Structure 1
């Protein structure tokens, strides 16, 4: 199709279908489809733009005069564009739509190495569901953040996501930002109060398209949730989504909606794609779980779950993979074996005496606190109970922790006593009250508050439930509150009682100080033994082992830091992270522990452990055991996660013959017993919050402290622990039986095949580099090569910066870049500056692409002539096309369900073949001696014909229609299942409320009126009926698919070089024939070698660009082989830019096979393979081939492998 302009003034009379017009749609050239007169001088025109989308306009003669004819649909391209400019424009277009060509472009342009279950989640579960409503519920440590990042990046690169919000607990938002930035180059902002202030009355969410927000910051603010409801999102992701759970509050189906649940409902309604993520989706109650699932599909889970009436099927809405089922691509278990040991130690006589004295004090005061709460002062009773519980836990932690706690408590209460006495004295001096009233205070006849009302309200629940929602500031504040309550909360209600308690504390302090000074800490002795036995050993590589030690108390942490540093002889051998450690310092500590071989011990508290992933260590000690059993699994998960290659070991330290020690010993023994029963193949024996549902472990421990010396109490506690652990396991296994559809099995072969198929279309790094460097320099940029595979950009042209700003003001481009690279492995080299990865999605690459298309885009429609100089060339000219294909549904938002680019080659007999890689990369520009021959062929009848209709028909017949049939088959199956479940659920609810209406109406006629009126039940039934009809219409629209007409993005005439030679000499014909024979011998030699290696080789067709043989090994991994055969004694061989670039994208999966073909026969042929053959070359999109020295490569080669 010719792109030509005319100076003639257009009128309505001169417009006709098929014309290409400029001016009808601003900034576009469109094709007229039809013209319809609707009045005198007024026409309605129908058009199609270059994306294939149709539109209509009403125009007059005055409008037509402003239009310009840019060509005709029936005319062929002129084929006179500059070939190099055409190639650069074609590559710009291909990389702009990278996601349409490279099916896993997010994987290949991100700093991640995804695992089979992650690939399956993103490319089989999430991306095909349009729109998405899904719960990703894989086990902790499975890498759900990686999956979400890949999903988001794929949608962004496919132009399906411009606005996204991630809602996470407050303690995780910074981690989300870091991971998305560092691993995916996605620049999300953390939502802040400053943003609200800067909005100055505007909707703050409208101003920020990529946001990460704290869950409770949004849910607790009516103003923010109101603004949130006024905007829409392309994607909303909720991390730790189980926090958005809710409960039914009555038999009438009324929901007790938490603020978090309401936030989830709001996001579900305003987000086109909605992804929930949690490792604990099911807390044991099916009705609560189904209410939670209603956030994804309100119709499928409408109403309160009734067993026998409602289904439990979650198919299509969630996936859950447990650690035990996760595999590597090699088929090995992803998570290594793990072992847990119970380290029991005997208290020394002095420690035993201190333990009994403190426990007796705690038991006595707990009884008094309970009486205070029963008398009505619940806050004070809870605070005292909390303080005493913490004291008991610090007693079990270390001599240092209990000594410091007792000292602070005694000192603070003593200060409080003196303050009260001074107040009484001052009151006696200035008050008009009688002296008898003051005597009542002093003697205890009148109760006193002792400042309890001024203390923060805490209970024993707070210590365990303090979670990832908190920020650094909130953690520090909480720890201060704990210290206040532990130091000052007292059950004493009179001055004599307070004096008595202080006297007891003074005795306890003396005993604790004596124990501390004796330094006979049996617990530390056991830890020291573990350190000596484990840290002195080295791992297989000679690297020192590393260990993480968890404690619950800051005093113990400081105590252990001094002890361990002295034991190891180096202060820098130990590093600490606690609740008061700032996030920046936490990051520094993590990096030091990971990378500094001298730092071998990390001491941490639970507050610091949230969000901390430390696979560098495989040894862990629970110096203090948590009173929430699930935290044991959470702690172990810090090291037992993806990336861990060593067997993980955990030591749990327990004091023998102590009340809480006996409880823990029984618990750990039961867990070990269950684990042995399942051969170690069930990691989380307790399940996800399934155990201890009837009575918490915390309550059992408190009961043990108070009554554990009674034999009947101890026996009862043993029975409860055994039953609770068994119940947790039964609940977990029962959940798997009730919801088998949510526990996915991993078909490793399918995932591997998908990955291998995608490898062939990778763009990174070779194709990106080959395009970017010449395109950037053409625009006036300055780029210099520095270290291997790394570059410095000293000048980014103003035009590129302006283009980037126009495309996305939130992703600016810098004026200079110290280092860039196209290879993931060269981003963070040791001792060198980090480099920016130039890959799809990077704003600099995006801007260079757009500027190139702005300049050179017209050359694609104009067409060009390319010369095929390969030895495997065709006998006649061909036409090469770039074809865009799109399939949409008929939903209101017209979702794109499939979008593809193909590069068909049309031969003169009408045969169409498709190339996996763009063929133009292997073709050359005509040289000056070929001008006449090229002109003659380009002017021939076949080349001058317009073949676009034929190509579009082929695209529909061979591409769109089969793809549409495949997608529709899948959608129909999913829709039928969803339709059946929606109908079952809503009809059951409609019938339920119809029956309720009839029952209540009968009661009301008899004069009985309850809380629920008959009219209310009838309204509910009618509303549900309307919802059912509307949902069924939506399901129909989602499965009705339409093919958007294929769009021809570019065309080129490809001429074999043999046709451009005027007179072919006989010698040349003989040479060509001999060359073909040599290449045939070479290919046969490689095929035989591959079969000998146990692989299955397949020879590629003659027009396959990039490589000659695809060979699959027994594990399903594909190797790509480029074959070069030469007669022995040859000096050089030719390699095309595309062959080099393809090799660079495949890394160690590519082989250059060199075959020296012997004149003595095939038996004497010699074969060598070269791996990573072309890493030293820097191909360019404007250079077609290179002549390389045969001997240089031959010497680098070796036997086939």
Structure 2
């Protein structure tokens, strides 16, 4: 057929795999024709034809092949469509596809807040330990599965990047790279970000490197996530906004991100102006500019904050247990007191020098002051720590003295060390291994001496102090250790129920003390193998190994740790903790407690803090802890959540340093400050913290449970996925061997599938070990690939099958319903719909994909998995059905379109208008508020007016034409005189009512959701019960495939209730012996008597007598 013969309105074969209707044609020159067409599903497409296409072109002859497709091919093709649209079918696909069970607040965050917002500009500010990394991972996985994310950047503090990488891989199967100098050096210039679309980067690495920022500014990211985002701060100054480098980085990232998610547990430090500046990272037009005096109300469209005390389990119980803290006071022994006084005087003399040096060299004075404070803290830590530190200081300064005497250089020029950038930029950040190493170096080599003579004086002082420290160490009167020993040997360390020793974590600030304690504890009876340690000199992999041993080995009961060890480790296997040393930064007290007070902790958490009451810093700590205990009496464990913020503006470190320097003279002044901060400021901060809080209501818990239950019942993995995968590979010429344990070996991947590998992926010719259940445990050496939506092989197979059988899906097939559920003939259709906004380059706001059954009047109902229960028609049945093509189903696509337009489109559009329109209106109102306070000539006003124009376009909702992906005519078996073996409605109603009564007599809350279906709410967990009626021996139990699949998916939360003349048996795991891997098997026959014998008289498994 020549190109000149093509015209609008014709039906033509040869342009795509199936016939299409030409909508328009346009010549380009004399040999090229651009055509616009509508396919059988109603979708609009375009093609560019030249003379080489003419041999394939032909007018559609109009042959009626409606419902003529092979039923087996049709079912494979429809399942491929379901897989491609899995994120629109499974209400929590990322959960089904991952090895985790999220909590209600995590479900509401991801599926109720993050995913519905397009594009996303959001602050997730739930409390520490709420699992924000889990929420973010679920969000990323959902976007990937929906095809809405290719490039993602996670920006986090350096100490957390390994944790991010591990959790995203272990829990979600997401392989993120970590940005490194080595990687950058090995990449071709400007290509690193292109080659690493899933990337984690250190916040401070990005903020310092302008070349990296330039490369970042050239990349559009689908999603940027910033963890610990409160570190991106700025403040208004005389000349405008004074931005830190981190804040400037945040602005850059916000410009390049389509979706921008900030995460922090401390979004508001009590300063409304700083909070507004922070929110401006999300929306500068809405929150930018100098404060106008109006109250800031961010609204739940831009942030969510849930507090620990408001978080609940699926059962509605508090998620976090109580936490209690105790102060253990002790007095130094006489030898310890002498050491404390002498070293303290040495430190105070040095502090006098700091003030003198500060006038000429501020940086050197800062370094010296830091070294002296570290020395004082080691003095308070243990005799071992101060003895080792003084020895190393003497050796290093002595060696430096000899070297400088020989070279004749000024000593102080060698004694200046630059503070780590993280230390000076953010003194509240967690301790890192770098900072621990710097502290060691500072203590060993920074001195106030400026001449060799002054250095000789200091060396003689050290020569006097070192024997004092050694005598205290060897005296055997370490009172602090004796207090810790008392805790370790107390009755609280024995588990009352099992008699096993409980696990405890001991935090110290110094590695020398850690080693000292290890020696002491392992010398105790029965403790030789009980102790492990984590410190800053260990890499993250080694820390993980120690963490695993501590949490998994019942004989490992004591973990000794420094603050650097606490970074990113979850240690809720223990619920007991000791602060052997109290950190001078109060944030770290909260961070330490947070290692055990986390999701998954079942026990009340206990914290003991050891404090010497006859030391200067000890007196300050005792006053602080006393006031905290007073507040905890009314506020509970919440006092720890804002402890760090309590001392903003008057850092605790500064108060402690003053106590060391000035002693008794400053004591009363410091007590007044602590009383004001903890007594007055702390309650105010807790009140401020609750301003923007959200709480989980019972309706939220119920909604999360319903969503989780539906996802569990209808999930693709493992049963649906494995059977479809094996059959599809076989049909395409490949080979799969399914194993009884749920794993498989792909012996040959079809070549046509390998050719469909998506960009950036390569598919192997075979896979030796795959599995379909993400949660299935594998031996450590087994490895293996999880197959399901999102995995390259699985997705390539779905693409191949859907394309191969696209024409069969739309032309349709005939299916026979043997279940007896419905005695009418109806149309089964797979329908898709998309809604976009009104911008020139539109953004999809919402998509839906539904499989429905439609009657002759275009009324429809959700079909769920019913297509699995239908079989192909026999040749004889096909002959009988030929006459049915003249019925109302003669044009099935038009009938499906009628249903879609009148039902799906209308409901979908209303839902999107209600959610999207309200959010857009809130943004518009906030920008108008800013405009009213600006002069019309202000350049900012022009930008805001332009933003309002864009918002007007975004607010427009445009409904795309529905797309009919597949149709099938479903005919009940009764048409052919076949009587299905089903329970009568009357008998099933009686059996259902009898089952409900029986369960209520067992003390369970049971309700009937429909005839033959009962649900039991057992402490927040739903048990699904399928009721069947029988008459004893010889009776067959016929189960439809969809019922068996849903029962298998629910596992231990499913029962089959057999009712026989008033007697009932509840059968757990009734389908455990069935082979579900035969894809086209639409029903299963069970022997009633055999299943009955497996049953129990009550729901929980008590066997009948």
CA contact (8 A) 2:375 2:386 kept: yes
* CA distance in 2: counterparts of 1:947 and 1:1073, whole angstroms: 30
Identify if the C-alpha distance between structure 1 residues 685 and 467 changes in structure 2 by more than 3 Å, giving closer, same or farther: closer
CA contact (8 A) 1:801 1:815 kept: no
Q: Which one is further off, 489-498 or 117-126?
A: 489-498
Identify if the C-alpha distance between structure 1 residues 701 and 598 changes in structure 2 by more than 3 Å, giving closer, same or farther: same
* CA shift for structure 1 position 683: 4.7
User: Does the residue aligned with 1:305 lie in a helix, a strand or coil?
Assistant: coil
* CA distance in 2: counterparts of 1:324 and 1:667, whole angstroms: 23
Matching residue within 63, 68, 78 for 2:57: 68
CA contact (8 A) 2:734 2:750 kept: no
Q: Spell out, residue by residue over 1:172-201, the C-alpha distance to the aligned partner (whole angstroms, 9 max, x if none).
A: 112111111111111222223344334423
1:709 aligns with 2:660: no
Matching residue within 1007, 1017, 1020 for 1:1097: 1007
- Name the structure 1 match of 2:792: 843
* CA shift for structure 1 position 604: 1.0
Q: Which one is further off, 165-174 or 831-840?
A: 831-840
* CA distance in 2: counterparts of 1:735 and 1:741, whole angstroms: 10
User: Does the residue aligned with 1:303 lie in a helix, a strand or coil?
Assistant: coil
Identify if the C-alpha distance between structure 1 residues 561 and 1169 changes in structure 2 by more than 3 Å, giving closer, same or farther: same
Identify if the C-alpha distance between structure 1 residues 132 and 894 changes in structure 2 by more than 3 Å, giving closer, same or farther: same
* CA distance in 2: counterparts of 1:65 and 1:858, whole angstroms: 21
Kindly report which structure 2 residues correspond to 1:506-517, keeping only aligned pairs within 5 A, or say none. Answer: 506-517=463-474
1:902 aligns with 2:850: yes
- Name the structure 2 match of 1:213: 201
User: Does the residue aligned with 1:296 lie in a helix, a strand or coil?
Assistant: coil
Identify if the C-alpha distance between structure 1 residues 36 and 1083 changes in structure 2 by more than 3 Å, giving closer, same or farther: farther
Q: Which one is further off, 662-671 or 1043-1052?
A: 1043-1052
User: Does the residue aligned with 1:1113 lie in a helix, a strand or coil?
Assistant: strand
- Name the structure 1 match of 2:1091: 1193
Matching residue within 765, 768, 773 for 1:823: 773
- Name the structure 1 match of 2:1063: 1166
* CA distance in 1: counterparts of 2:1005 and 2:299, whole angstroms: 41
- Name the structure 1 match of 2:675: 722
* CA shift for structure 1 position 705: 0.7
CA contact (8 A) 1:161 1:235 kept: yes
- Name the structure 2 match of 1:793: 745
- Name the structure 1 match of 2:716: 763
Identify if the C-alpha distance between structure 1 residues 156 and 458 changes in structure 2 by more than 3 Å, giving closer, same or farther: closer
CA contact (8 A) 1:387 1:489 kept: yes
* CA distance in 1: counterparts of 2:637 and 2:530, whole angstroms: 35
Matching residue within 868, 871, 882 for 2:830: 882
Over the residues paired in the alignment, what is the CA RMSD in angstroms? 3.0
* CA distance in 1: counterparts of 2:681 and 2:41, whole angstroms: 56
Q: Which one is further off, 189-198 or 340-349?
A: 189-198
Kindly report which structure 2 residues correspond to 1:171-190, keeping only aligned pairs within 5 A, or say none. Answer: 171-190=159-178
Kindly report which structure 2 residues correspond to 1:186-585, keeping only aligned pairs within 5 A, or say none. Answer: 186-250=174-238, 254-308=240-294, 311-374=296-359, 376-423=360-407, 449-458=410-419, 462=423, 477-533=434-490, 536-538=493-495, 540-541=497-498, 543-585=500-542
* CA distance in 2: counterparts of 1:1095 and 1:625, whole angstroms: 50
The TM-score normalised by the length of structure 1 is: 0.86
Matching residue within 133, 148, 152 for 2:140: 152
Identify if the C-alpha distance between structure 1 residues 314 and 1125 changes in structure 2 by more than 3 Å, giving closer, same or farther: closer
Q: Spell out, residue by residue over 1:654-684, the C-alpha distance to the aligned partner (whole angstroms, 9 max, x if none).
A: 0111100000001111111111122x26253
Aligned residue-pair number: 1096
* CA distance in 1: counterparts of 2:1056 and 2:649, whole angstroms: 66
- Name the structure 2 match of 1:913: 860
Identify if the C-alpha distance between structure 1 residues 45 and 797 changes in structure 2 by more than 3 Å, giving closer, same or farther: closer
Identify if the C-alpha distance between structure 1 residues 1117 and 77 changes in structure 2 by more than 3 Å, giving closer, same or farther: farther
- Name the structure 1 match of 2:1103: none
CA contact (8 A) 2:617 2:659 kept: yes
* CA shift for structure 1 position 861: 2.0
Identify if the C-alpha distance between structure 1 residues 693 and 415 changes in structure 2 by more than 3 Å, giving closer, same or farther: same
1:1135 aligns with 2:1088: no
User: Does the residue aligned with 1:682 lie in a helix, a strand or coil?
Assistant: helix
* CA distance in 1: counterparts of 2:249 and 2:983, whole angstroms: 74
* CA shift for structure 1 position 1152: 1.2
* CA shift for structure 1 position 721: 0.8
User: Does the residue aligned with 1:78 lie in a helix, a strand or coil?
Assistant: coil
- Name the structure 2 match of 1:1004: none
- Name the structure 2 match of 1:925: 872
* CA distance in 1: counterparts of 2:786 and 2:357, whole angstroms: 64
Identify if the C-alpha distance between structure 1 residues 330 and 1079 changes in structure 2 by more than 3 Å, giving closer, same or farther: closer
Identify if the C-alpha distance between structure 1 residues 1198 and 421 changes in structure 2 by more than 3 Å, giving closer, same or farther: same
* CA shift for structure 1 position 465: 5.0
* CA shift for structure 1 position 759: 4.2
Identify if the C-alpha distance between structure 1 residues 555 and 1117 changes in structure 2 by more than 3 Å, giving closer, same or farther: closer
Q: Spell out, residue by residue over 1:430-489, the C-alpha distance to the aligned partner (whole angstroms, 9 max, x if none).
A: xxxxxxxxxxxxxxxxxx83244453134999499578799xxxx555444322321122
Extract unaligned runs of 5+ from structure 1: 1-8, 425-447, 995-1017, 1102-1107, 1159-1164
Identify if the C-alpha distance between structure 1 residues 840 and 491 changes in structure 2 by more than 3 Å, giving closer, same or farther: same
User: Does the residue aligned with 1:594 lie in a helix, a strand or coil?
Assistant: helix
- Name the structure 2 match of 1:444: none
Identify if the C-alpha distance between structure 1 residues 893 and 655 changes in structure 2 by more than 3 Å, giving closer, same or farther: farther
1:107 aligns with 2:62: no
Q: Spell out, residue by residue over 1:64-123, the C-alpha distance to the aligned partner (whole angstroms, 9 max, x if none).
A: 836635858x98653222222221221121112110111111111111110111001001
- Name the structure 2 match of 1:958: 903
Q: Spell out, residue by residue over 1:515-555, the C-alpha distance to the aligned partner (whole angstroms, 9 max, x if none).
A: 11112111111111111125750264555311111111111
* CA distance in 2: counterparts of 1:398 and 1:800, whole angstroms: 69
Identify if the C-alpha distance between structure 1 residues 344 and 972 changes in structure 2 by more than 3 Å, giving closer, same or farther: same
Greater Rg over alpha carbons, structure: 1
* CA shift for structure 1 position 371: 1.1
Extract unaligned runs of 5+ from structure 2: 1100-1105
* CA distance in 2: counterparts of 1:627 and 1:182, whole angstroms: 35
CA contact (8 A) 1:536 1:544 kept: yes
* CA distance in 2: counterparts of 1:38 and 1:418, whole angstroms: 88
Q: Spell out, residue by residue over 1:1036-1084, the C-alpha distance to the aligned partner (whole angstroms, 9 max, x if none).
A: 22221122111111111222222224xx8xxx7xx97986665555445
Q: Which one is further off, 1024-1033 or 224-233?
A: 1024-1033
- Name the structure 1 match of 2:7: 15
* CA distance in 1: counterparts of 2:414 and 2:1018, whole angstroms: 73
- Name the structure 1 match of 2:37: 47
CA contact (8 A) 2:423 2:435 kept: no
CA contact (8 A) 2:511 2:535 kept: yes
Identify if the C-alpha distance between structure 1 residues 463 and 646 changes in structure 2 by more than 3 Å, giving closer, same or farther: farther
User: Does the residue aligned with 2:137 lie in a helix, a strand or coil?
Assistant: helix
Q: Spell out, residue by residue over 1:389-440, the C-alpha distance to the aligned partner (whole angstroms, 9 max, x if none).
A: 111100100110011111112222233333444456xxxxxxxxxxxxxxxx
* CA distance in 1: counterparts of 2:839 and 2:917, whole angstroms: 15
Identify if the C-alpha distance between structure 1 residues 163 and 48 changes in structure 2 by more than 3 Å, giving closer, same or farther: farther
Identify if the C-alpha distance between structure 1 residues 119 and 383 changes in structure 2 by more than 3 Å, giving closer, same or farther: same
- Name the structure 2 match of 1:807: 758
* CA distance in 1: counterparts of 2:981 and 2:741, whole angstroms: 38
* CA distance in 1: counterparts of 2:846 and 2:633, whole angstroms: 49
User: Does the residue aligned with 1:171 lie in a helix, a strand or coil?
Assistant: helix
User: Does the residue aligned with 2:714 lie in a helix, a strand or coil?
Assistant: coil
1:32 aligns with 2:22: yes
* CA distance in 2: counterparts of 1:461 and 1:277, whole angstroms: 20
Where in structure 1 do 4 or more consecutive aligned residues deviate above 6 Å?
36-44, 57-60, 466-470, 741-746, 1071-1074
Identify if the C-alpha distance between structure 1 residues 165 and 71 changes in structure 2 by more than 3 Å, giving closer, same or farther: farther
Matching residue within 809, 819, 828 for 1:860: 809
